[in-house]
A and B are shown apart, each in its own frame.
Chain A
Amino acid sequence: KNQVEQSPQSLIILEGKNCTLQCNYTVSPFSNLRWYKQDTGRGPVSLTIMTFSENTKSNGRYTATLDADTKQSSLHITASQLSDSASYICVVSADNYGQNFVFGPGTRLSVLP
C-alpha cells in the first residue's frame, strides 16, 4: 500500500534554531518527492522537488535530502524564523505522469520568539 509517514507530528523550536523534519514513504514506483509549506487555512507552497537521482536540494534556508534506497527524506530548516511556523507536508509522486500523489499528514512546526 502506498503510504507516506512524517515525524514528528508537531515540533516547537525557538527562533534562530535549526530543525529537521522526517518523511518515510512506501510508494512504488517512485517518481519524485516534494516538500510543501502550508500555513493554517492557506494553500501549499512548494519548497523542493527531488527525483530519484537527486539526494539533496536547497531552497534558501530549506534543504531537503532524499535516500531512495531507504525511502527516506528529510527537510532541514536553518536559522528558523517566526514566519516558518506552518505545516510541512511531504508528497510522493508514484509515477512519471504525476497521476498518483500520496500525501503525508504533515508536521506542524511552531517557532517561538
Chain B
Amino acid sequence: AAGVIQSPRHLIKEKRETATLKCYPIPRHDTVYWYQQGPGQDPQFLISFYEKMQSDKGSIPDRFSAQQFSDYHSELNMSSLELGDSALYFCASSLDGTRDYYGYTFGSGTRLTVV
C-alpha cells in the first residue's frame, strides 16, 4: 500500500542557505501535519494543513513557511538556516472531515543537517 512519501531522505545544507522539504500524503488524504524532532528531543508540531488551508500552527519559526498544493502534497520551506535547525522533519497525513477514518500515516522523515 502507498505510504506517506517524503523527499529528500537526507539533506545537508550550510548556514544561511535555504531548504525545501516535500511531503506526499496517502492518496485521498486531505490533511498534512509537519513535525520537527531535534536530537534527543520530543517531536514538535510545526504546522498543519486541511484542504490546502493552514489549519493549525505550532512552534514554526518565522524563517519557515509551508503550503499545501492542489494535489495535497505539502512543502516546508526553510530559509536562513541555522545550526539548530538540524533535525528530523517528518510529516503525517490523514483523511479528516469525512465519516471515513483511516488513521494517521507518518512518513519516515527528512534528516536535515546544517553545517
- Given A103-B104, A108-B101, CB of A43 within 8 Å of CB of B33: yes
Q: Kindly state whether residue B84 has any CB partner on chain A within 8 Å.
A: no
Contact with A along B47-89 (1 / 0, CB 8 A): 0111000011010000000000000000000000000000010
Q: Which residue of A lies closest to B34 (CB)?
A: A43
Q: How many A-B residue pairs have CB under 8 A?
A: 56
Q: Which of B37, B94, B97 sits near A101, CB closer than 8 Å?
A: B37
Contact across chains for A41 and B106 when beta carbons are under 8 A apart: no
Q: Which of A46, A97, A103 sits near B106, CB closer than 8 Å?
A: A103
Tell me, rounded to whole Å, the shortest Cβ–Cβ distance linking A89 to chain B: 6
Q: Which of A29-65 contact B (CB under 8 A)?
A: 38, 40-44, 46
9-residue interface stretch from B6-14, B16-24, B38-46 = B38-46
Which residues on B sit within 8 Å (CB–CB) of A91? Answer: 43
How far apart are the CA atoms of A3 and B94 in the complex, in Å? Answer: 18
How far apart are the CA atoms of A43 and B105 in the complex, in Å? Answer: 15
- Given A97-B39, A97-B40, A98-B42, CB of A41 within 8 Å of CB of B58: no
Q: Which of A6, A41, A104 sits near B48, CB closer than 8 Å?
A: A41
A6-B103, A108-B101 known; 14 other A-B pairs, CB under 8 Å? A40-B50, A40-B55, A41-B31, A41-B48, A42-B56, A43-B45, A43-B56, A87-B94, A98-B42, A99-B39, A101-B37, A101-B43, A103-B104, A105-B102
* Chain A positions near chain B (C-beta within 8 angstroms): 6, 9-10, 38, 40-44, 46, 87, 89, 91, 97-99, 101, 103-106, 108
